[in-house]
Amino acid sequence: MMYRSLFPRDWLAELDRLQRDVQNSFQFSPSIRGIARGGFPAMNVGGTPQSVEIFAFAPGIDPATLDVQIEKGVLTVAGERQRQHAGPEATLHIDERFEGRFRRVVTLPDDIDPNAVDAKYRDGVLRISIGRKQSAQPRRITVQ
């Protein structure tokens, strides 16, 4: 579980974690690829008739180290987030931020065009925009 606090005195973060755990355990139809919620990076997925929009909330990562792949209709976002180095004399009071390697997988709809992909990283959010195939666009058929 991400964002688990090691420090019990930070009760608000504990409450937050508890809420997340309860939410996860009550998710009756988890995705075939594991728990859909609570991973890093958090993801929002949406779509328009022309494109599929995926937002991955992955702050503090060098965009060059992000690995984004589309294979057989599955989008994979992988990378690593390094720990902020603390001196040997330092005390860690709250430790909630994610660190280490991550990988998240999203199943894409059938009508996407794997060649029309655009990925941007801004303000710590990776936005992947995938176009839908022209043949899948809604068309008006004129009646002769």
Partner 1 sequence: MSDNTAARKPTANDETALLPPVDVIEDASGITLYADLPGVPKDKLHLHVEADTLTIEGDIDLEMPEGTVASHVEVSLPRYRRVFTLSKELDSSKVSAEFSQGVLKLGIPKAEHAQPRKVEVKVL
Residues that bind partner 1 (CB under 8 A): 3, 10, 12-13, 16, 36-38, 41-51, 53, 55, 57-61, 84, 86-87, 89-98, 121, 123-125, 127, 129
Please report how close the Cβ of residue 32 comes to partner 1 at its closest, in angstroms. 14
CA angle 22, 96, 120 (to 5 degrees): 95
Q: What are the structure tokens assigned to 41, written together?
A: 């990076």
Q: Which is nearer to partner 1, 29 or 144 (CB)?
A: 29
Please report how close the Cβ of residue 64 comes to partner 1 at its closest, in angstroms. 12
Q: Which is nearer to partner 1, 91 or 144 (CB)?
A: 91
* Residue that the structure tokens 């019990």 belong to: 8
Say if CB 118 and CB 112 are below 8 A apart. Answer: no
Q: Which is nearer to partner 1, 22 or 94 (CB)?
A: 94
* Residue that the structure tokens 């929009």 belong to: 53
Residue 33 backbone zone (phi > 0: left; psi -120 to 50: alpha; other: beta): alpha
Please report how close the Cβ of residue 44 comes to partner 1 at its closest, in angstroms. 5
- DSSP 3-state assignment of 21? helix
Please report how close the Cβ of residue 144 comes to partner 1 at its closest, in angstroms. 31
